[in-house]
Structure formats: C-alpha cells, structure tokens
Amino acid sequence: MDKRKRAIMAVGSVILILLVLFVVRLGNLYSTINTHSETWSRQIPKEKKDFTILMMGYGGAGHEGAYLTDTMMVFRVDFEKKTALMVSLPRDIWTEIPTESGDEFSRKINSVYQMGLFPKNYPDLKREYKSEQGAGDLVKKVIGDIVGFPVDYYLAIDFEGFKQAVDTLDGVEIAVARSFTDNLYPVDGKEEDLCGTSPDDLEKLDELFAVATESPELAFPCRYETLSFSSGEQHMDGATALKYVRSRHAPEDGGDFGRAHRQQLFLSAIKDKVLSVGFIPKVIPLINDLEGNVKTDIPIDLVNKFLKEAPKSDRYGVTQVVLTTDNYLRDAYSDDKQYILIPKSGEGIWTKLQKDLQNIIAGLSPTPSPKPLP
C-alpha cells in the first residue's frame, strides 16, 4: 500500500472517531465527554473552511503518569481545498508554559495537559487554564505556538478505553511494518516493586538503586517484560494492541518516532474494523467502553460537517509530517538534567517548521523531509 493511501487511512480514522462521537451525541454520553459548557449552542462560523484538531492519547488510571499525553497529533483539514495535514509531535519537546507571574517556566509537552487538570501542583499557572476545559485550552495554546497556527479543538483519548474497545470489536488486524523486540516494557503496577529484595535490606537497596540509574532492568527485572512483534499482518486483542502502540525501547523500532508511526497504524486498524460488516451490533458496547475515556471540546456542528465529508475522504490530498531529529529537532538536556527535544535553531525557535507548514498549507512545497512511513 502506498504512502498516500496509508495517510488517507489515518485521516479516515480521525473521521471515524468523530463519527463515534456523533453517535454518542444521540444519547446522554456526549455531555459526559464534552468539556465545553456551551457545546450544544455553539455554531462554527459558516465562512470558516479549515479546522485544526489536536488529538492526544494518555495511559489513564492504573498507569504510571496517567495523564501524560505520550501521543500528540495535530490534524488540520481544509474542506474547501480538500486537503489535510497531520503533524506528529514527540512527547519530549520542551516548551514554555504561560504563568501568572510572568516568570519563565518550561516543561515537556506531554505534561502540559495534566497541569490544567491538577492546578494545585502548578500554582503559578495562568488562571484561565486551571480546569478541565482549561487543560485543553492550555495544550492547544502551547501546540499552536509550536506549529504556528491556532488549534481550534482537542480530543483526548484514554488508551485504556481503547484497549476495552478493541476487545469489544473482537480484536483488530494490524500490519506490523517491521519486526522489533522491546526488553524494557514496564509492567503495570510493578513500578515500585523491589523484586524480592527486603525493604529492610538498606545496603542491598542502595546498590540496586545505584545500578537502576543506568540499567533499571538489571536492578529490578520484575518491573519489565519483553515484547516481540514480527512483521506482517497480526491479530491483536486490546492488551496486545495497547502494548504495540506504547512500546518505545526496541532498538529496531523504538523511541517516540517509531511509536508515532505505530499509533497511526493502530488508528487505521480500528477504522477498518469499525467499518467492517457486522460492526453495527457492537456500536452500543463500544460507546459504553469509551465513556469516561474521551474528552473533547469539538462542537456538534463540526461533527456533522465531518460526517458529511466522510464519504469523500478518498478525495483529500494528505500530507503527514513527523517531527524527528532528522528534520526539525535536536537532542538536549534541561537545567535539571532531563532529556528533552528542542528545535535545531534553538530553544523556542520554531520559525523553520512554521514556515514549512505554512507552505504545505498553501500548496507551495512537498512534505519537508519527514521520517518515511514504514
């Protein structure tokens, strides 16, 4: 399958998610997942032809860093030009956060959403961002500052909910692009496990914690499991699919960049399964699975607009950009020694990326040397 068709499938998956939200609207669940109090009365301007949605995925309850958004994709669609742009952003991008005092404060982009959800932990955060909708507004503002154009709406998905949804669909078929083995996949609930060492054996624990700084899997092996995926078509249940999209330590296909591509494949697989024959009886169970696992401020008007465009999705020209160290990013370390990613031009300087994205939107240039799709 060529790259353009893969990208169109990814766009179809986004439309699918909005379609599910539309179905949810028919019941009481839409009011549960929507974080904007005026959703029902809001109308999108008739003259507006393009919209930008930030899609985020996070681990959810029971996972370490439950509200860290380790999946972040900007989806911009122009209904008039029949074009779409998808920009994947790795979680370690370092970004400035707006504060009440005006003091400089920066964090990784994957932690921005949780700041608004838990404002007591960030007392200097600007007041307008200290709420559930404020959390969405904050991350939209921060991502907009990176890509250089406003982000209109957000869609936050708890991947735990997607695990349940996959099982409701009796699993999904995923075309694994390349084989990989991850020896450092964290086992849920084992984050603090001492792996048989007595908590009273302080001398032994000191030795293990020293080893864990460089090789945590050697110090506390019970905290990790080994994952292996072979290339080719594979049937995955919810738990397996979730591991597939979250794995990031495989030498062959690791890091945030490889994970971004796998998450695209996962969304496409969900889309294919939902549109397959026999899905209709599973609609209600699927919606029930997603309740409490999806948050959004997308208005009903825009959902309806996407529905009308869904049959025409194959007519859209799609460009996908994955930010990597091969194009716009470089490795760096923060003052407190965290590994971070910053623009090649320097911290906070996104001019090159923004110019290239504007050229793509205007139809003036091809995709600016992204990492190839698998």
pLDDT tens digits, 155-188: 888 877 777 778 888 888 988 988 999 988 888 7
pLDDT for res 254: 64
Identify the CA nearest to 353 among candidates 54, 137, 85, 104. 85
What CA–CA distances, in Å, run from 6 to 3, 68, 82, 317, 363?
Answer: 5, 27, 17, 12, 20
Provide the token pair at 351: 């001019």
- Give CA–CA dist 219/333, Å, rounded: 25
What is the residue whose two structure tokens read 């194959």? 314
**The pLDDT of residue 124:** 94
What count of other Cβ atoms lies within 10 Å of the Cβ of residue 244? 23
**What's the mean per-residue pLDDT of the chain?**
80
Considering only residues 274 and 105, tell me which one the structure prediction assigns the higher pLDDT.
Answer: 105
pLDDT at res. 35: 62
Q: Assess whether pLDDT exceeds 70 at residue 21.
A: no
Distance of CA 83 to the CA centre of its chain: 21
CA distance 170 to 1: 25
Contacts of 141 by beta carbon, 8 Å cutoff, 6+ apart: 98, 129, 151
Angle between helices 300-309 and 3-25 (to 10 degrees): 130
Measured CA to CA, the distance from residue 137 to residue 151 in angstroms comes to: 9
- Least confident range from 44-53, 103-112, 233-242, 286-295: namely 286-295
pLDDT recorded at residue 88: 86
C-alpha closest to that of 93 among 345, 342, 348, 353: 342
What's the pLDDT at 33? Answer: 59
pLDDT at 86: 85
pLDDT over threshold 80, residue 145: yes
Contact 284, 28 (CB under 8 A): no
Options 3.30.460.10, 3.40.630.190, 3.40.1280.10, 1.10.760.10; CATH of 3-173+248-362: 3.40.630.190
* Residue 278: pLDDT over 90: no
Q: Return the residue matching tokens 């399964």.
A: 273
Mean of pLDDT values over 267-290: 62
DSSP 315: G
Which DSSP helix (H) or strand (E) runs through 175? strand 172-176
Mean pLDDT along residues 49-65: 80
pLDDT band at 150 (very low <50, low <70, confident <90, very high): very high
Which residues neighbour 70 within 8 Å (Cβ) at sequence distance 6 or greater?
A: 57, 58, 59, 91, 110, 246, 256, 259
φ/ψ of 163, rounded to 5, equals -60, -45
Which alpha helices (DSSP H) does the chain contain, by range?
3-25, 29-33, 112-117, 132-147, 159-168, 202-212, 216-219, 238-246, 255-274, 283-290, 300-309, 351-362
Q: What mean pLDDT do residues 107-114 have?
A: 94
Check whether 4 has a pLDDT greater than 50.
no
Per-domain residue ranges for the chain? 3-173+248-362, 186-223
Q: Is the pLDDT of residue 208 over 60?
A: yes
Q: Which amino acid is at 141?
A: K
For residues 269 and 201, the answer to whether their CB atoms sit within 8 Å is no
Concatenated DSSP letters of 96-155 = E--BSS----EEEGGGHHHHHHSGGG-TTB-GGGSSHHHHHHHHHHHHHHHHSS---EEE
Q: 364: which 2 tokens?
A: 């003036």
More confident: 1 or 266: 266
Residue 232: is its pLDDT beyond 70?
yes
Please list, in sequence order, all residues whose beta carbon lies within 8 angstroms of the beta carbon of residue 335, skipping any fewer than 6 positions away.
none
Nearest to 51 by CA among 365, 306, 357, 312: 306
Q: Is the dihedral of CA 328, 330, 333, 335 positive or negative?
A: negative
User: What pLDDT sits at residue 11?
Assistant: 45
Would you say residue 26 has pLDDT above 50? no
Output the pTM of the full model: 0.74
Of 8 and 327, more confident: 327
Q: What residues have CB less than 8 Å from 174, skipping those under 6 apart?
A: 233, 234, 236, 241, 244, 265, 266, 269
Type and span of the H or E element at 176: strand 172-176
- 40 versus 85: the higher-pLDDT residue is 85
pLDDT digits (tens, 9 = 90+) for 319-351: 888 899 999 999 999 999 999 999 999 999 999
